[in-house]
Structure 1
Amino acid sequence: MGLRGNFLLQFEDPDFGNELCNLTDIKELPTDRATLKVLITFSDAVSDSTLDTASLSSPSNNSSVEWPDPFIIPDFSHDVELQLTAANDAYAKEGTVMVVSKGVKSEILDKLADMISKVTAYPSKEHYESVATALVAKHPCLRELGSEKGWYCWVFSLKFKMGNYRQRLMAAGCPEVVVNKRKRGQTSSKVLKKSKKGEVHYLPDPPAGQSAFTSEENRKTMLLEVQKCDPDLQLLDEMMTATFSQRRKEVIGDEPPVSELVNRWPALFNERQIRAEFGRIVTTDLLSFLEGLDAWTPSLLQLCKAAISSSRRLTLQSVMQCLEKEDTNQNRRTAVLLGLPGFFAEDTSEIIRMCDVHGETLDVLMKGMRVGLLIGHEGVLHDAFPMQVFHVAVVVEETIILHDIPDVATGFALLMGTIYCLNLEYPSEMKCSFEFMQRVVMKIKPDHCSARIHGLRNKLLRYRL
C-alpha cells in the first residue's frame, strides 16, 4: 500500500470476540475474512489536540496540506471564550448578536490567521468563506444581521488580516511568502517566473528535525542509489519526500538551468517521481489528467466537427481526417490534444514535434525547443499524427528529461507535471491550450480561467446538454 513511517497493524480476532489484536504474523489472520486496522505511530510526542486540529499543524508533513472540510475553529483566550459563551446564550434566548469590541475582534482574527497560515499562506475566496461559515456556526452571536449568510464582513476582515499576517511571516523568513513577495529582477539568474493566475509559488518549510545538512546527505545518497541497476524505489520515495523543501527552494529561489537540476536531482526525472512531486505541490494525482480528458473528449470532438468548415480550422480538419482512419480511444485522446490549439489559432511547431525514430538526430529535432513533446514514429508520416506512436519524450531547454512514454495523452500529463515541478512558464505559443488543460481538464483553480477559456468551456457544456 506504499505506507511510509512507523505504524502498527491490528486485526479483528474471532477467537477473542473480534477484539483488535496486534498482528505479528500473517498466519494469524482468519482464512475466510480479515479486517485490518492501521495505526500510525510518531517518534515525537503529540499534543492532546484532536486529530482534526493536529492535521492542521503537524510539523512532520512537508507536502501540500489539503484544506480541512469543515474548518476547525480553535479555542480563543480564556476571557474571549467567556464573553462568547455569554453572548451565545443571549443569542439562543433572545436572538441578540454580540457587539464585538476591537480587542475581541483582533484576538479572533489573529487566532484564525495563525490557523489558516498552517495550511496555506495564500487562501482562496472559498477558503475564507469556509472559515467565516465555521466561525458563525460555532459562535452564532457573531452573525451579522445585515447580510444574508451572516459572515460577509468577516470574510473581508480575514482577507485584510491575512495580508498583514503575511508581512509578519515574511519578516520571520517564511520561504513561501518571501519568494512570492519577491519582485522581478531580484534573482541572480533569469527573472522570476510569474505565478499562473490564481496560484502562488508553493515553498514549504522543511519537516521537523530536517536540517540543510541532512537534506544534502539524503541528496547525495540518492545520487548513489539511482546509479544502481536495481535502485530501492521505496528508499527513493522517502528521501524525495524528506528533501522536498530543499528542492523547491532551489527550483524557485535559485532558478537553475534544467541541466543543473538533472545533475543534482536525477531521481526526480522519471514518471514515478514527477507524479509524486506534482502531488506534493498540487495535492492532485497527475494522471487524473486522463480522466478529465476523457470526460471532455466527446464534446471536443463534436466541436471540432462543427469548426472544420472555417478556413482557419485547417489543423482541426486534418486531425479529424486522421481520426477517421482509425478511431480508437488513444487516437481520440491524441486528436483532441493536438486539435486543441486549433481553437485558439496557436502555432504548435515549437512545442509539439513529430519525428521519425530512424531519421534526423535528436540535436536537430530539439533545436529551439524550450519546453514541449517529441512524438516518435517509424517511417514517413502522411497524417496529422501517427497511428502507431513509437514513444513520446518530454523536452525542456533542448534536453530530453523524460522518455519512453507510451502514448501522447500520458506525455501531455507528464509535460504538465514537469512544468509544475520545475516551475516553468507555459510556452507563449500555446498558453491558451495549456491553461485549458490546467483549468478545465485537471480542474486546478477552474474559477480563475481567462475569458477565452471560459468561452470555450461554455461552448463545450452546450454539447453536453
Structure 2
Amino acid sequence: MLLRVIVSESEIRRLSIEDIPSSVEKLYQVLRTNLALRGGFILQFEDPDFNNQLCNLTDIKDLPVDRATLKVLFTADDSTDSTLDTGSLSSPSSADFVKWPDSFPIPKFSHDVELQLKEANCRYAKDGSVMVISKTLKTNILDTLADCMSKITAYPDRQHYENVAKTLVERHPCLRDPGSEKGWYSWFHSLKFKMGNYRHKLSSAGCPEVVINKRKSGSSKGETVKKSKKGEVNYCPDPPEGQSPENMEVKRKIMEAEMQKKDPNHQLIEDLMVSTFSQRRKDIVGDQPHITELMSRWPALFHERQIRAEFTRIVTTDLLKSFVDGLDGLVLRLLEVYKAATKSGKKQPLKDILDCLAKDDTNERRRAAALLGLPRYISGEDPSTVIRMCDAHADILDDAMKGMQVGLLIACEGSEQGAIPHEVFDVAVVVEETIVLHNIKDVTVGFAMIMGVIYCINLKYPNDMKYSLEFLQRVVMKISPDQASARVHGLRNKLLRYKL
C-alpha cells in the first residue's frame, strides 16, 4: 500500500507498506516507527466519497485500499481543533503515545542491501542455504534497526530485542543462524550491543531521555538519575514537533495563572497539560525538585483527574480502571491466603484485619482489607511509615504526617480506629510531609492515587512497602509483569494456584 503523509506544510512524505494495518491504532504505530512521529496526534484522510475532502480516520476500513493521502494533526499543537478533548483519557493525545508494536515493522534497508537480501532469500527458498553475512552488510542492517527502535524507546526490554530479531529472520529467512535452534539468537545479542553504542550517538545529539540518564556530576542536586524501572512508556519524551522550551514555558505560565482563578477554564488547563508534558517530565526527572517547588511550578498536576491523565501519558494505561479491575480479580484469593496465614497464630495484624472484615463485609471493605493486609503478608513489612490513620476532626495534622516521605493519610471518625477504618472522611496522598492530593473518596482509590503520584513525580517505592507497591504494579495493574521480583512472583503464583 502506498501512503502520502502530510506531516506539515513543509514536510510531505511518501511511505510504502506491505499490508494495510488491521486497525487505526496499528497504523499509528507504523507511522511512528517509519516517520519518527512523536507526541499525540490524530489522522485525517482524503475521502473519495466526499470529493477527497479531509475526514477524521476512525475506522481502518474507511481507508482506500491501494493508495491514500493522510494528514497528521498533532494534538499538542495550538492549531489543534478546539473541539478535540485533548485531556480526555481516551484521546490519542494522552492514550496513544509511542508504544512498542506487537509485531515490529522491519524497515526497508538501503537499496544495495535490499538487492542482496532479495537474492539470498530466493536461494534460501530454493535449497535452504543461509547467507554469508559480511561485516558491512550486518552493520548496515543493525544501524537501520537501531534507528527505528530508538524512535520507539532508547531503552528496549529483552522481549523487545527478541521481537525485533525474530521478526527480522521471519521477514528475511536467509539471515537465520545456522547453528541456532531459534534461528535469531545471534541477532538478539548483536542488537543489544548496537543499541548500547547507538545511545552514545543519541546522547551526543542531545536526545532528552538519554542525556538525562547519564550520571550527574557531584555539583548537581539530586541522586544519579537512572533509566525508568517501572514500565514507563514515556519516561522523558522529546518535545512535540515545532515546540521549543521557551514556547512551553509561556504555556506553563498561562496555566499557572489560570489555576489562581476562582473558576479556572478546565478545558484550557487540560490542553496546556498535554502540550507541556515533555517539559514537565524534563523538570521532574532531570531537576528532581522538592515537592513544594514542584507544586508551585505545576499546580494543575495535583488534582485527581490530572494525576490520572498524566499517568496515562506516562504508562499508556488507565490508572483507576486497571487498578480496580485488577484488584477485584484478586481480592477473594488474597483474603483466603491471609486466612490460611493466620492459622499459625504468627500474623496477628492480619488476623485483626480479617476480624474487622467479619463484622462488616462489604465490597469496599474487602478491597480495603486486601490492600491493608498486603504489606503484612508479602514480607512482614511495617506499613506505619507509609499508611497512617488519623482523627478527621483533629486540628493539627503535622504530627500525623511527621516522617512520611511517601504515604497515605486516612482521616476517619474518632481517634481510635480498628485495622480497617469504619468510616472514611478523606484520604490524602503525602509526599515529603506535604499533602499533595486529598478529597479521595475511599481507601482503594487512595492506593490507586499513591501509585499515580509515584509515577507522575518519579518517586522510588518506599522501602517499608516496596514489595507491596511492586505487587500492585506488576500483578494488580499488570505493568511490566514479567519483571517481577522473586517475592512478588512467588505470591502471584500462589494466588493463581489457589482454588476458591
Query: Which residue number in structure 2 is paired with residue 192 of structure 1?
Result: 224
User: C-alpha deviations, 1:31-77, integer Å up to 9, x for none?
Assistant: xxxxxxxxx98654441225453222113448741111211111111
- Residues 80 and 43 of structure 1: CA distance in aligned 2, closer, same or farther (over 3 Å): closer
Query: Which residue of structure 2 aligns with residue 330 of structure 1?
Result: 364
Q: 1:194-225 CA deviation, whole Å, 9 max, x = no partner?
A: 66756579211111111111111000110122
Relative to structure 1, the CA distance from residue 142 to residue 41 in structure 2 (aligned partners, 3 Å threshold; closer, same or farther) is closer
Shift of 1:312: 3.4
In the TM superposition, residue 313 of structure 1 has moved relative to its aligned partner by: 1.0
Report if aligned partners of 2:427, 2:439 keep a CA contact under 8 Å in 1: yes
Query: What is residue 38 of structure 2 aligned with on the other side?
Result: 59
* Alpha-carbon displacement from aligned partner over 1:165-221 (angstroms, at most 9, x marks no partner): 0111112221211222325x6463232366675657921111111111111100011
Q: 1:356-413: per-residue Cα shift (whole Å, max 9, x none)? A: 1112511222111111001111224342121221111101111111110001111111
**Residue 69 of structure 1: SS of its match in structure 2?**
coil
Question: How big is each residue's C-alpha offset from its partner over 1:69-89, in whole Å with a ceiling of 9 and x where there is no partner?
Answer: 211111111110110111111
**Distance in 2 between residues matched to 1:377 and 1:95, nearest whole Å:** 72
Distance 1:196 1:90 in 2: 44
What's the Cα RMSD here?
2.0
Which piece of structure 1 moves more, 236-245 or 318-327?
236-245
Matched residue, 2:409: 374
Query: How does the TM-score come out when normalised to structure 2?
Result: 0.81
What is the distance in 1 between the residues matched to 2:166 and 2:405? Answer: 45
Task: Report deviation, 1:464.
Answer: 4.3
- State the distance in 2 between where 1:292 and 1:410 align: 13
Structure 1 residue aligned with 2:246: 213
SS in 1 for 2:14: coil
Deviation at 1:432, TM superposition (A): 1.2
Whole-Å Cα distance in 1 between the matches of residues 184 and 300 of structure 2?
A: 48
Residue number in structure 2 paired with 1:80: 113
1:307 has 2:338 as partner = no
Q: Secondary structure at the match of 2:411?
A: strand
Give the secondary structure class of the aligned counterpart of 1:181. coil
- Which of 281, 289, 297 aligns to 2:314? It is 281
| 2:474 matched residue in structure 1 | 439
Asked if the contact 1:187–1:254 (Cα under 8 Å) also holds between the matched residues in 2, the reply is: no
Q: 2:403 aligned with 1:403, yes or no?
A: no
Is residue 345 from structure 1 mapped to residue 380 from structure 2 by the alignment? yes
Match of 1:4 in 2: none
Structure 1: distance between partners of 2:219 and 2:323: 33
Tell me the secondary structure at the aligned position of residue 390 of structure 1: strand
Unaligned runs of 5+ in 2: 18-26, 41-75, 77-93
**Residue identity matched to 1:58:** L
The answer for the alignment partner of 1:455 in structure 2 is: 490
Question: In structure 2, the residue corresponding to 1:402 is in which secondary structure?
Answer: strand
How far, CA to CA, are the matches of 1:336 and 1:291 in structure 2? Answer: 14
Residue pairs, 1:117-132, within 5 angstroms: 117-132=150-165
Distance in 1 between the 2:225 and 2:246 partners?
A: 28
Give the drift of 1:282: 1.3
Q: 1:47 aligned to 2:13? A: yes
Displacement of 1:352: 0.7
| C-alpha distance in 2 between matches for 1:362 and 1:405 | 17
**1:237-316 correspondence runs (5 A):** 237-287=270-320, 288-316=322-350
Q: SS of 1:47's equivalent? A: strand
1:323/1:196 CA distance change after superposition, 3 Å: farther
Kindly indicate whether the alpha-carbon contact (under 8 Å) linking 1:212 and 1:246 is maintained by their aligned counterparts in 2. Answer: yes
Local SS of the residue matching 2:155: coil
Please give the TM-score of this superposition, normalised by the length of structure 1: 0.87
Matched position secondary structure for 1:374: strand
Aligned length: 425
- Give the corresponding residue for 2:148: 115
Q: Contact 2:213/2:225 (CA < 8 Å) preserved in 1? A: no
* In 2, Cα distance between equivalents of 1:187 and 1:250: 17
Partner of 2:128: 95
Q: Is the counterpart of residue 386 in structure 1 residue 421 in structure 2?
A: yes
> Comparing 293-302 with 230-239, which one deviates more in the overlay?
230-239
State how far apart, in whole Å, the 1-side matches of 2:344 and 2:134 are.
64
CA distance in 1 between partners of 2:406 and 2:238 (Å): 29
Q: Which residue of 1 aligns with 2:23?
A: none
